[in-house]
């Protein structure tokens, strides 16, 4: 049975086969959508959470991501600055490209950004692992939530929800088709 590992900073989150069985249940039921599929509070009080999230892109970028992993955007004109943009809301991700990945994302320490011009809107990476824009807060025209994670080490691929047929053969051999639910 596969063990999922998230390597991030000095901490390592290892999910055992028992926890993986729970992931499989959570990822195949509607209960897992939008809610943490793994939630644990450490003895020091730190909350560790893993969510199912989505990321859409072009077939060319998807092939590169599958071969080399995600690269954080470095554009200063993006809403939350440098990072990897993902969403728990499949409908939020789909407009960004015809290939959509289903991911497990370890969010780590999260900074909530509720308004444009927040002092940490583009500078959260120094003290946080993820920036989160909640739904219907006025930051996103669609009213949907959005996340920006600092590192590709926070992400594990589950598969492709849509657009598998658009990937080159090499990229297809690195993933599989999965249900969005």
Residues 126 and 16: their CA atoms lie apart, in Å, by 30
Identify the CA nearest to 62 among candidates 102, 4, 8.
102
Residue 54 belongs to some domain of the structure: yes
Residue 167 belongs to some domain of the structure: yes
42 pLDDT band, cuts 50/70/90, is confident
pLDDT of residue 33: 57
pLDDT of residue 133: 96
Residues 156 and 160: their CA atoms lie apart, in Å, by 12
Residue 12 belongs to some domain of the structure: no
Residue 78 belongs to some domain of the structure: yes
DSSP string, 33-85: TTSEEEEEE-TTS-EEEEEEEEEEE-HHHHHHHHHH----B--TTSTT-SBEE
The mean pLDDT of 4-12, rounded to a whole number, is 45
Residue 154 belongs to some domain of the structure: yes
pLDDT, tens digit (0-9, with 9 covering 90-100), for 98-141: 999 999 999 999 999 999 999 999 999 999 999 999 999 999 89
Residue 105 belongs to some domain of the structure: yes
pLDDT of residue 4: 53
Residue 150 belongs to some domain of the structure: yes
Q: Sheet of 110-112: strands edge to edge?
A: 84-86, 146-149, 130-133, 110-112
pTM score, whole prediction: 0.81
Residue 138 belongs to some domain of the structure: yes
Domain at 127, CATH number:
3.90.228.10
Number of domains, the chain = 1
pLDDT of residue 74: 80
Residues 168 and 60: their CA atoms lie apart, in Å, by 8
The mean pLDDT of 53-79, rounded to a whole number, is 92
Give the range of the structural domain holding residue 161, as residue numbers without chain letter. Answer: 50-172
pLDDT of residue 167: 97
């Amino acid at each position: 049975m596969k063990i999922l590992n998230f390597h991030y900073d000095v901490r390592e989150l290892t999910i055992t086969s028992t926890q993986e069985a729970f992931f499989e249940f959570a990822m195949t039921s509607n209960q897992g959508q939008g809610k943490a599929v793994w939630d644990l509070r450490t003895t020091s009080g730190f909350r560790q959470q893993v969510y199912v999230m989505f990321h859409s892109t072009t077939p060319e970028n998807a092939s590169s991501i599958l071969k080399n992993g995600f690269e954080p955007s470095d554009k200063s004109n993006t809403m939350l600055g440098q990072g990897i943009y993902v969403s728990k809301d499949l409908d939020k991700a789909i407009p960004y490209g015809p290939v959509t990945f289903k991911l497990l994302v370890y969010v780590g320490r999260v900074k909530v950004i509720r308004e444009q011009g927040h002092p940490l809107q583009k500078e959260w990476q120094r003290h946080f692992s993820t920036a989160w824009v909640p739904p219907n807060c006025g930051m996103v025209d669609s009213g949907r939530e959005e996340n920006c994670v600092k590192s590709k080490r926070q992400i594990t691929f589950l598969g492709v929800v849509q657009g598998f047929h658009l990937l080159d053969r090499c990229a297809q051999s690195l993933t599989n088709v999965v249900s969005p639910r």
